Amino acid sequence: MPTDDTNDIFDATPDTTDATDNVADLQDQAQQAVADGDYATAADYQGQAETAAAAAGDTSDLTGPDSSDLETAATDQQTAATDQAQEATDAASGNYAAATDDASAASSAAAGADASGGGLTDDGSADTEQLDESWANWDQETADQDATTAASYAAAADSPDATPSDAADATLYGDAAAGEDQTAAGLGDEGTYDEAAADPVPDDTAVDDSAAVDDSAAVDDSAAADDSAAVDDSVPSDDDVSDAS
């Protein structure tokens, strides 16, 4: 006896529920990785989500930065870490000018990572490091200038035309140079990536200007160092820091 198959119509529409759920789950994991500041992991999960969505034939559920953007963010994030590590190396060797440039590069890379990845990983520490290293460089240059001036007065003190103030001036400038050198080293250490905080650097405390030698009291200017070669003693401003970078 024939049967009635009219109620057994085959539904050829594919069930995409599982695939859609899989895409959503992978994207959730990608966004969690972004929130955790791990752009490399986020790029991996987002790439899997894109592959799954393409296989399901529906990419409309994909949201947020794509895997390419997240890969760019991961690269920038690694670049920032590399620049900060180099900054620490340069600061440790006393090359504070290079350390300032390293911190500036790290700041740009960190900002670029968040711009591409959509996260909030840039805590501003590289900007603080840049300012610290810039101050360290300024203090080091001032220390070098004062050391040169001290040597000049010391030479004058040993000359036939020596005056009673030459030896005292040599000591005063030498002590100032030592203090500034120590301050530079301290700021250089504070500016390294593993020590920097997000607090602004206070006004310079390297040398008390009241301790500077009164140039009007100096005897025999011909024996002193050429002041035209001296480092600019003016305190660097924020704009100077930005221009230097």
Contacts of 191 (CB under 8 A, 6+ apart): 87, 91, 99, 103, 128, 129, 130, 131, 132, 133, 136
What does the pLDDT read at residue 19? 67
- Please give the model's pTM, rounded to 2 decimal places: 0.65
Contact by Cβ (8 Å): 76, 113 = yes
What does the pLDDT read at residue 188? 81
pLDDT digits (tens, 9 = 90+) for 66-95: 999 999 999 999 999 999 999 999 999 999
pLDDT digits (tens, 9 = 90+) for 162-212: 898 988 999 999 999 899 888 888 888 776 655 433 333 334 433 343 344
Q: In this structure, what token pair is assigned to residue 78?
A: 């690694």
Contact by Cβ (8 Å): 126, 110 = yes
Tokens 């529906």 -> residue: 58
**Separation of alpha carbons 147 and 56, rounded Å:** 73
Is residue 108's pLDDT more than 60?
A: yes
Q: Where are the beta strands (DSSP E) in 15-161?
A: none
Is residue 244's pLDDT more than 70?
A: no
For the chain, what's the residue count?
Answer: 245
Ramachandran category for residue 94: left, alpha or beta (phi over 0 → left; psi -120 to 50 → alpha): left
**Separation of alpha carbons 183 and 215, rounded Å:** 24
Could you tell me what percent of the chain has a pLDDT over 70? 69
Is residue 236's pLDDT more than 70?
A: no
Whole-number average pLDDT of the chain = 78
Is residue 15's pLDDT more than 90?
A: no
What does the pLDDT read at residue 186? 84
